[in-house]
Amino acid sequence: MQIRTASQQKSVTKHGGYRRFTENALRLRWETARPISWGASRGTVQAEVIRSNWAVRCPHCAGAMFVEPGEPFFCPDCGMQANDWLPMTVVWPEERATIERVLLARSDPLTRNWTRESVAALRAENLAHGEAEE
């Protein structure tokens, strides 16, 4: 078991990768959408873990999307209109490997969530529920 990124999602690989998946989702939601300017970005957004998946919650709408290291975030739900249709740079935590290891100690994949709390807080949650790292 692992904390999955976008490229490890079946729905993403089925569409040929993160960028194609995102472009397809955008076209499905917005018939008049502009092409995504992947080479440009404006602003930053923090990666989080939501139910065993690395994702970003859109700062402009209620959307959320799987993310991939090295790729910008683009929300197909709002088309990033509030950001001039531009993607955002994803900021990944420095302690990513440790965060994943602590979360993977949890037996229920739906409880593997990280929203920027400290590793110590994650470990305390695990201990409170009787789940410690091996």
Q: What is the phi/psi pair of residue 118, to 5°?
A: -70, 160
Residue (of 63, 67, 66) closest to 79 by Cα position? 63
Q: What is the DSSP letter of 4?
A: B
pLDDT classification of 57: cutoffs 50, 70, 90: very high
Mean pLDDT of the chain: 95
| pLDDT tens, residue by residue, 20-47 | 999 999 999 988 778 999 999 999 999 9
Distance separating alpha carbons of residues 78 and 15, to the nearest angstrom: 20
For residues 77-100, average pLDDT: 97
**Residue extents of the structural domains in the chain:** 6-91, 96-128
Across the range 45-60, mean pLDDT stands at 98
Tokens 């970005």 appear where? 41
Task: Determine if the pTM surpasses 0.75.
Answer: yes
pLDDT of 77: 96
